[in-house]
Amino acid sequence: MATIIDLAAKAGVAPITVSRVINNSGYVREDVRKRVQQAIEELDYVPNALARGLRSKRTYTLSLVLTDITNPFFTTMARGVEDAASANGYMLLVCNTDEREDKERVYLQLLLQKRADGILLVPSRKLSVNADLFRNRHTPVVILDRRVEGISADVVRGDSVQGAYQLGVLLASLGHKRIAMITGPSGVSSSEDRETGFRKAMREAGIESTLLVYNGYFVQESGMEMTNKALQASPPPTAIFAANNFIAIGALKTLQAKGLRVPEDIAMVAFDDLPESMVTFPFLTVAAQPAYDIGVQGVRLLLERLESEAPTLFREVVLPNELIVRKSSGEAVKYHQ
Amino acid sequence: MATIIDLAAKAGVAPITVSRVINNSGYVREDVRKRVQQAIEELDYVPNALARGLRSKRTYTLSLVLTDITNPFFTTMARGVEDAASANGYMLLVCNTDEREDKERVYLQLLLQKRADGILLVPSRKLSVNADLFRNRHTPVVILDRRVEGISADVVRGDSVQGAYQLGVLLASLGHKRIAMITGPSGVSSSEDRETGFRKAMREAGIESTLLVYNGYFVQESGMEMTNKALQASPPPTAIFAANNFIAIGALKTLQAKGLRVPEDIAMVAFDDLPESMVTFPFLTVAAQPAYDIGVQGVRLLLERLESEAPTLFREVVLPNELIVRKSSGEAVKYHQ
DNA sequence: GGGTATTATGATAACGTTATCATATCGATG
DNA sequence: CATCGATATGATAACGTTATCATAATACCC
């Protein structure tokens, strides 16, 4: 493969002059530039990003480490990250941790090795065992979607407390007194924050004491299991709050299997909307997070820090959710418990 | 950041010995290995993958260029690629082209610059304007999901002809005589192959002359538009074949908006299943492609070529689809046209 | 026309690692 | 004990690029 040395020989200049042409830096006379560009064409030259990165200490690569690439919420977020990155001349590396801290560690180490200019991370746990990887390193990090302790970084996330609170207020206002919350694991901030917000709404409505809470995982099967358990409670809930989209779909499946209609027999609300393109008949009432925007803002903060326009203190950007009321939350409840 | 030179100084050995420890290559005495490993710990060393790749000409990175990361079919395929890559010690770079050849070109150029060891490509067109990028380069390429002309590469794809044929046979056997096919653009092999397979079934059933064909794009909006047009035909179709999942969802939306019930008023079949985790009540009859497996097989062929166990000739792996009959295709039609 | 700023080009070294070749030690073998 | 293969370590150069510093040519100003 041709190198700038070959190009330099062909164009009759020094390698560094070729470098100047490629990078559009420094001074190059117009006719020299033409000669070099012609040599580039003729030799079918492809710059070696490894050598460039090694010498210049900039790879123009960002990396995104997230927990579940099959979840449309994260796919959308990733799209936001990608668009913002590529608009600024950066490539994006995406890694998937399956919510596992060991995989997270392996990937973060690999990314540090590759000298990505910056990292966007959806941490799998609030208390990260991988926080140590970032100490004494100058690779800047932005935390997305969740809070984490022990990592000095900017944070961009949706307002889980507020979104869950709104959904709770809605259910309470519809007259529900016995509500089940099916959520992710404790130790994950989004899960905990949604519980906090929802509890607050319950407390204000005076029905916190009858609240049923089930902790599981942010996947469909877990949604099914938790729903099964919730339905066995006595008295059973008249409404369910699912803490993310996959849990919600699992719940709907279980309800359908049991012959329970939504919202006639039981009401449902959930966190995270599904993309319009994937749902034939949207009917879940949700707190929709600005997934795409979380990604875009994350890149903005990261690039500011790379170009050292950022303040020394770390920032936390909390974006509001949108409450979308559809069929699944139903009408006001007409009966007593 | 610490380098192997620092480590060497600390451990009292030559840099190359440190390299041997890190790579587990050559001979190193046990006590020396221990000393070096301790130095690695103490200095919190992270190898520089840029320098490694530059010198050794191997980056242990594969890249995947696909057309639509928001489509669960491709997400699943990407999962297969990722799992297979990481199981073999390779990282994965994923790029999204939005079916645009200009974006495809930019990304392929970047990947060549980064010296990815191999590329997995879902080409946006059958006649690729970017084929030239691979000539006289030794970066091996595997084409996924589609056929392409002018690129010397292994190919792994689902059998679009067969899948579409099966769906066509099914609809014909149910008694449909007037069927609309809503598909992607001509010039994309998957789109064309599905038309070929479907037409074959129609021909064999003696109803090719009444077939309605609409070309659009593999996105929801296009599915809506094509369905609208199809319904205006005279006589209107009694069944629709959607050539991918997003087109199908668009069609369902339009049918619902018009108050048409599926399958009672009009039957539907489609290509590509949606993941179980995303659909509450699966009811589309589909030809499901082995998306995950396409990814896995692609990596296998690529790695074989990297380790030069592959034959000189290029291989084409065509995986069968699974016909999943659900509600949307309905019962046998009881009426005449 | 002498001095200064701007434009243009290059020599050299360095980024951090490993390929290649060289050399030394050790144990086993007959 | 001479020989040989296995074990162990290192010196040197190279991968392809750009940072840094130096120098030359040109333009500009009073």
Q: What is the full DSSP assignment across B256-289?
A: HHTT--TTTTSEEEEESPPPGGG-SS---EEEE-
Which nucleotide shows the minimum CA-to-C1' distance to residue B52?
A: C17
- Neighboring chain A residues of B220 at a CB cutoff of 8 Å: 276-277
Q: Which of B163, B162, B181, B161 is CA-nearest to residue B267?
A: B181
Q: What is the full DSSP assignment across A157-175?
A: EE-HHHHHHHHHHHHHHTT
Other beta carbons within 10 angstroms of residue B87's beta carbon come to 10
* Strand D close to B319 by CB, under 7 A: no
H-run or E-run covering B198: helix B189-204
Q: Which of B127, B159, B140, B178 is CA-nearest to residue B302?
A: B140
Q: How far: B243 CA to D18 C1' (Å)?
A: 51
Evaluate whether A115 touches A53 at the Cβ level (below 8 Å).
yes
Q: How many CA atoms lie within 13 A of A293 on its CB side?
A: 12
Name the band, by pLDDT with cuts 50, 70 and 90, for residue A281.
confident
Count contacts between A and B (CB, < 8 Å): 116
Report chain D positions within 7 A of protein CB atoms.
Answer: 7-12, 14-20
Instruction: Give residue A195's identity as a one-letter amino acid code.
Output: E
* Strand C close to A32 by CB, under 7 A: yes
Instruction: Give residue A295's identity as a one-letter amino acid code.
Output: G
What does DSSP say about strands B322-324 and B285-288: parallel, antiparallel, or unpaired? Answer: antiparallel
For residue B56, the model assigns a pLDDT of: 95
Q: How far is CA A262 from CA A172, A268, A326, A336, in A?
A: 17, 7, 11, 18
For residue A320, the model assigns a pLDDT of: 96
**CB spacing of A59 vs B70 below 8 angstroms:** no
For residue B334, the model assigns a pLDDT of: 67
- Neighboring chain A residues of B82 at a CB cutoff of 8 Å: 69, 96
Q: Look at the block and give the residue holding tokens 């995982």.
A: A217
**Which is it for the CA torsion A222, A223, A228, A230, positive or negative?**
positive
Whole-angstrom distance, CA of residue B60 vs CA of residue B310: 18
The mean pLDDT value for B186-214 works out to 96
CA B147 to chain A, closest CA, distance in angstroms equals 26
Name the band, by pLDDT with cuts 50, 70 and 90, for residue B335.
low
Q: Considering only the beta carbons, identify the residue of B51, B114, B281 that sits closest to A49.
A: B114
Q: What is the full DSSP assignment across B113-165?
A: HTT-SEEEE--SSSB-TTGGGGTT----EEEESS--BS---EEEEE-HHHHHH
Whole-angstrom distance, CA of residue B69 vs CA of residue B81: 13
Residue B262 in tokens? 């599926």
For residue A136, the model assigns a pLDDT of: 73
pLDDT tens digits along A232-257: 999 999 999 999 999 999 999 999 99
- Neighboring chain B residues of A78 at a CB cutoff of 8 Å: 69
Q: Which of A244, A276, A59 is CA-nearest to residue A158?
A: A244
List the alpha helices (DSSP H) in chain A.
4-11, 15-23, 30-43, 49-56, 72-87, 101-113, 160-173, 189-204, 220-231, 245-257, 291-306
Rounded to the nearest integer, the mean pLDDT of chain B is: 94
**CB spacing of A278 vs B72 below 8 angstroms:** yes
For residue B336, the model assigns a pLDDT of: 46
- Neighboring chain B residues of A275 at a CB cutoff of 8 Å: 70
Q: Which of A74, A281, A76, A324 is CA-nearest to residue B249?
A: A281
Q: What is the full DSSP assignment across A63-75?
A: EEEES-TTSHHHH
For residue A318, the model assigns a pLDDT of: 97
The mean pLDDT value for A29-49 works out to 94
For residue A335, the model assigns a pLDDT of: 54
Evaluate whether A264 touches A330 at the Cβ level (below 8 Å).
yes
- Neighboring chain B residues of A95 at a CB cutoff of 8 Å: 91
* Strand D close to B28 by CB, under 7 A: yes
CA B129 to chain A, closest CA, distance in angstroms equals 16
Q: Is the peptide bond before A72 cis (omega within 30 degrees of 0)?
A: no
Predicted confidence (pLDDT) at residue A337 exceeds the cutoff of 60: no
* Strand D close to A43 by CB, under 7 A: no
In this structure, what DSSP letter does residue A136 have?
A: T
Order of strands across the sheet that contains B212-215: B212-215, B179-183, B239-242, B267-271, B285-288, B322-324
Evaluate whether B188 touches B220 at the Cβ level (below 8 Å).
no
E strands, B171-310, are 179-183, 212-215, 239-242, 267-271, 285-288
CA B203 to chain A, closest CA, distance in angstroms equals 32
Q: How far: A251 CA to C7 C1' (Å)?
A: 71
Predicted confidence (pLDDT) at residue A336 exceeds the cutoff of 70: no
Number of helices (H), then strands (E), belonging to chain A: the values are 11, 12
Classify A35 as helix, strand or coil: helix
For residue A334, the model assigns a pLDDT of: 67
Evaluate whether A195 touches A181 at the Cβ level (below 8 Å).
yes
Predicted confidence (pLDDT) at residue A104 exceeds the cutoff of 50: yes
pLDDT tens digits along B275-315: 888 888 898 999 999 999 999 999 999 999 998 777 789 99
**CB spacing of A70 vs B70 below 8 angstroms:** no
Closest-CA residue of chain B to A75: B70
pLDDT tens digits along A172-188: 999 999 999 999 999 99
Whole-angstrom distance, CA of residue A222 vs CA of residue B309: 43
The mean pLDDT value for B51-65 works out to 96
Q: How far: A14 CA to C11 C1' (Å)?
A: 9
